[in-house]
Structure 1
Amino acid sequence: MTQTPSLAPSNPLIPGFHPDPSVCKVGDDYYLACSSFEYLPGIPVFHSRDLAAWSLIGHVADREGQLDVCDTPTLGGAWAPTLRHHGGRFYCVVTDAHGRGSLIFTAEDPQGPWSNGTVMQGVSGIDPDIAWDEEGTCYITYSGLLLHDGDAPPTHLGIQQVRMDPRTGRALEEPRSLWSGTGLMFPEAPHLYKIDETWYLLIAEGGTERGHAVSIARSTRPEGPFEGCPANPVLSARSTDRPIQNTGHADLVQRPDGSWLMVMLGMRPRGTTRAFSPMGRETFVTSLHWEDGWPVVAPVELTPPGPEVRERDDFDDECLEPRWLGVRRLPASVASLTERSGWLRLHAGEAKAGMDDLRPAFVGRRQQHERAAFSALLDVSGGTGGISLRIDEQHHYDIEAGHGVIRARARVGSLTQTWEQPHPGDVAVLRISTEKPPADGLENLAADMVRLSVRSGTAGDSGEAWTTLALLDGRYVSAETTASFTGRSVGLYAAEGTVDADWFAYEGHDAQR
């Protein structure tokens, strides 16, 4: 089982907050799914033919009720999917944290439609994996983390496993404890494989922060007993100067040439102390080879930045593109492309608190480059709204128009600050951009600075002056400050009445290390 390692594709493999990747190979095609937490549509599914270029082809949860995230607290929702193919059918098992529980979704086509989701019975924990032996017995292996309501801390039972009837979601036995790593905290994210004649159990441990690590064990049977690799953890960036930190929560996949890759989550911390990661946990990849029946994993390398990306949505289609997201509800519940031809109309409805609302009237997309600019032309004759850069309802930077005023707002925890200037008329071009911090002073601790601006004209895309209302420290909308499992999303919102957007533009490029 010894191969020469191949070069890994570029990193990040899927930029922007796309954590907890799971990948499977079906013929010549590869499919990858990620966590989505409180955002809908949920559980994005990507496709590739070469494991390097990936395209978003849909979502597992694109209908009301598949995930119960309507009132889920921040950090809840869709956690850690495992994507597999068996018997001509695709399976996605996932935890709907603080919602429906552990779920089994199925589909004939990974683009969908996916089933409504079967609730697992007899599985108390998170991060489920699904695997089958040669006899067709289905195994659900999961992290025995018990989430409690109120202030009670979670209870951890280590890595657990049951035989499962995947049609009914009913466990066929009491859970048994498997190998739970080297003793680091939070053993989680198990994936079970049979490679040649050996069963491997891959897990994450050490927590999803800087101590995150990947460890592996093996057995002759899917239910163990498992023997840990002497070199565990086989991957970790902790206490190193590597540009990609928090590497863990991994999955294995074989390339067409027989070599192997490992996909995992990681973070790009920036600033003088390398303490702040604006885009949160992203999907990365590295190569591995096998020695004496154990994987030897290469360090995760950051690829030099690619060319600048420029994208623009003129809202001329009948449906929003799949990359558009809503918070705890589907974008179509607050947005319409048909009420005003060529425009996106947002209805504030009951979301009177703007971006502070648990379910804001927001339609956004992930920030996927370290230096990015998001701009839009808005007609606010029917209400008030603008552009928001969001981590969660308590951490966001907004710029909005309405009632003759342009207003910039920073919400950081319990603190809010605003800046205003008059703006006659009902049309405004607003922009949020992320920029390199100053080279000296306290600001260089930041990963970036966030500029909130309004343009003096509306006719063209360039040549007119921008007026800055606020230049803000990006540390306060980064994953570490907010203690978030997600990253930044940026998009359009309505705080009152209706707001129309003629276009939304995105420009982005990554910073040199």
Structure 2
Amino acid sequence: MVSSICTLAQSTTLVNPILTGFYPDPSVAKVGSDYYLINSTFSYFPGLPVFHSKDLKNWKQIGNVISRPSQMNFMGHRMTRGLFAPAISYHNGTYYVTCTLIDKGGNFVVTANDPAGPWSDPVWLPEVKGIDPSLYFDDTKAYIVYNSDAPENKPLYSGHRTVRMYEFDPVNLKVVGEEKILINGGVDISKKPVWIEAPHFIKKGEWYFLYAAEGGTSVNHSEVVFRSKSIWGPFIPYEHNPILTQKDLPADRKHPITSAGHAQFVEGPDGKMYAIFLAVRPYEDNYYNTGRETFIAPVEWKDGWPVINPDSKEIKYTYKTNYKEIKQKNALPQSGNFQYTLSFEKELDPALIFFRTCDSSSFSLSKTNGLTLKLKPETCMELGNPAFIGKRQQHINSSAEIALDFSAKSDNEKAGLIIFQDEKHFYYLCKSKDKGNDVIQLFKSNPESNNMNLLTQVLLAAGAEKMQLRIDSEGKNYSFRYALKPNKWVLLKDNVDAKFLSTHVAGGFIGCVFGMYATSSGIETSNSASFKYLRYAGNDPMFK
């Protein structure tokens, strides 16, 4: 795979998060001078985006691991289920991704000769019972290590888990021999550690280092490390664990970063070690809508142990390095403040996502109309594949805007812009009809009734088909606007509760997504809606 790149100055300032927005559970592999990074996507499709970089700062999405409905779909899965915690590795010309399809599949491996794809159909691993599988290639053998149940499936306390391992055959893609428990509970089982997960290996000298997340993927999240001279153990924990956490820092610190963990080490272009991990940026207390994001920090070896972010307990928003920055052409920006416009003339950007699968017959692209979505009876409150194409909310303060061309034929037909957290938590700004009259409406989902409540609407003159719709996120609030003439914005409603869409309220593991969404609300129709563009801008204070 050849990437178009250009070399800049002899130093690089890494900006956190390196992937803003809902990009959790990162895993990274270095192949020569190239870096490839993947993330969890749960029940969004395509699944598991693949990013490429030369400098650990500038990332370009080059494909998706799960890109064909024939590989896998997530129909019937809640949006926060689906694909959990992938891991990418490389060995002898082949790329491997291991992952968990939670609830309805288990663990699997896929392979590719090119990380941009295509990737193979999944090979299921029924012996690997648990989550977060990761492959490790030693000198002559391969291993698969993962989070699993307590010994004999008899937990001593809630959250009691183990790290287990099999030898792995990378040619026939199957486990070899017997499973062994490497870690029981965590660093100190007498203290009842919870959710030892996302394990990875690194070897330095004669030592095998097994490092993993502990504490659960919220404010108590951390990263811990063990070592042994045999890959089969016994593993001894570092006496100064955890090697990364934000849980003990003052809650009132400026622009806090929290919930850090789920790390993987990688050698940088300068030969030094770095950790790529997930964390979050709350706008107030533990409220955040942008999901778990991908961060980076330096690693130093202290007394024979790796320590993440050694100079400061607090994760920094910038780290300076002494190697070249290499920016990739035609890549959407991913870190800091940025803006972009997606048009829909020839193909969809690989960052755009659907619910659960891709129905290519339900949309079309053209220079004249942009993206045309056929209205479907399915709604976003169900577990199917409604007419929806979305892009992540990547900033605390952001705006998403669409140009819509749509004429509703009945009160059931709606098209517009949605800000979506899950099936029970969203706001929908749309064009529709009310008793035969054209209207712009704003709905809020009702988690109790599995329906929508109308917050407000405005009556339109007959024949008003073309308009712009915009949603602004402003920390704990959203505001909703429309324009019947280009960029002549009219406020429909402001100070709408954003906490309702936060992970803290909704639960689960995903972040908010702005989506172009059209539905006929259970009624069959031949109608469609056209979206000329999707425009996004983010403006967070920590990046200024």
Name the structure 2 match of 1:334. 362
Name the structure 1 match of 2:232. 223
Q: Which letter does structure 1 place at the counterpart of 2:276?
A: V
Name the structure 2 match of 1:179. 183
Rounded Cα–Cα distance in structure 2 between residues aligned with 1:203 and 1:130: 14
Rounded Cα–Cα distance in structure 2 between residues aligned with 1:17 and 1:97: 19
Name the structure 2 match of 1:410. 444
From 269, 287, 294, the counterpart of 1:283:
294
Q: Which letter does structure 2 place at the counterpart of 1:315?
A: F
Secondary structure at 1:337 match in 2: strand
Query: Larger deviation: 188-197 or 390-399?
Result: 188-197
Equivalence map 1:95-494=2 (5 Å): 95-135=100-140, 137-145=141-149, 157-180=161-184, 181-182=186-187, 183=189, 184-241=193-250, 243-271=256-284, 274-298=285-309, 299=313, 300-303=315-318, 308-317=337-346, 319-330=347-358, 332=360, 334-338=362-366, 341-351=368-378, 353-354=379-380, 358-381=384-407, 383-403=413-433, 404-414=438-448, 416-418=452-454, 419-424=456-461, 425-435=464-474, 447-457=475-485, 460=486, 462=487, 464-494=488-518
CA-to-partner distance for each residue in 1:151-188, whole Å, 9 max, x for gaps? xx998541111112234443222321002422410110
Q: Pairwise CA RMSD of aligned residues?
A: 2.3
Structure 1 position 507 matched with structure 2 position 531: no
Rounded Cα–Cα distance in structure 1 between residues aligned with 2:335 and 2:40: 25
From 73, 76, 80, the counterpart of 1:75:
80
Shift in Å at residue 356 of structure 1?
Answer: 5.3
Q: Which letter does structure 1 place at the counterpart of 2:239?
A: P
The answer to whether the 8 A contact 2:62-2:116 is kept is: yes
Shift in Å at residue 21 of structure 1?
Answer: 0.5
Equivalence map 1:20-35=2 (5 Å): 20-35=25-40
Change (3 A) 1:165 1:246: same
Shift in Å at residue 412 of structure 1?
Answer: 4.7
Q: Which letter does structure 1 place at the counterpart of 2:119?
A: W
Secondary structure at 2:500 match in 1: helix
Name the structure 2 match of 1:440. none
Percent of residue pairs identical: 32
Shift in Å at residue 145 of structure 1?
Answer: 4.4
Name the structure 2 match of 1:91. 96
Q: Which letter does structure 2 place at the counterpart of 1:397?
A: Y
Q: Which letter does structure 2 place at the counterpart of 1:334?
A: S
Rounded Cα–Cα distance in structure 1 between residues aligned with 2:497 and 2:278: 25
Name the structure 2 match of 1:438. none
Secondary structure at 1:12 match in 2: coil
Change (3 A) 1:354 1:141: closer
Rounded Cα–Cα distance in structure 2 between residues aligned with 1:227 and 1:379: 63
The answer to whether the 8 A contact 1:269-1:277 is kept is: yes
The answer to whether the 8 A contact 2:372-2:529 is kept is: yes
Q: Which letter does structure 2 place at the counterpart of 1:98?
A: D
Secondary structure at 1:13 match in 2: coil
CA-to-partner distance for each residue in 1:96-127, whole Å, 9 max, x for gaps? 11232111111111000110111013110000
Structure 2: gaps (5+ residues): 1-10, 151-156, 320-333, 521-526
The answer to whether the 8 A contact 2:111-2:119 is kept is: yes
Rounded Cα–Cα distance in structure 2 between residues aligned with 1:327 and 1:95: 18
Name the structure 2 match of 1:150. none
Rounded Cα–Cα distance in structure 2 between residues aligned with 1:308 and 1:290: 33
The answer to whether the 8 A contact 2:76-2:383 is kept is: no
Rounded Cα–Cα distance in structure 2 between residues aligned with 1:68 and 1:143: 24
Rounded Cα–Cα distance in structure 2 between residues aligned with 1:362 and 1:79: 22
Query: Larger deviation: 153-162 or 494-503?
Result: 153-162
Change (3 A) 1:505 1:190: same
Change (3 A) 1:145 1:395: farther
Shift in Å at residue 257 of structure 1?
Answer: 1.8
Secondary structure at 2:217 match in 1: coil
TM normalised by structure 2 equals 0.84
Q: Which letter does structure 2 place at the counterpart of 1:390?
A: F
Structure 1 position 495 matched with structure 2 position 515: no
Secondary structure at 1:480 match in 2: helix
Secondary structure at 2:351 match in 1: coil
Shift in Å at residue 477 of structure 1?
Answer: 0.6
Change (3 A) 1:348 1:67: same
Aligned length: 481
Q: Which letter does structure 1 place at the counterpart of 2:471?
A: I
Rounded Cα–Cα distance in structure 1 between residues aligned with 2:297 and 2:94: 28
Shift in Å at residue 384 of structure 1?
Answer: 2.1
Change (3 A) 1:215 1:7: farther
Rounded Cα–Cα distance in structure 2 between residues aligned with 1:162 and 1:154: 25
CA-to-partner distance for each residue in 1:251-310, whole Å, 9 max, x for gaps? 001112221111100000112xx2201101000111111012101221421249987422
Q: Which letter does structure 2 place at the counterpart of 1:126?
A: I
Rounded Cα–Cα distance in structure 2 between residues aligned with 1:88 and 1:307: 34
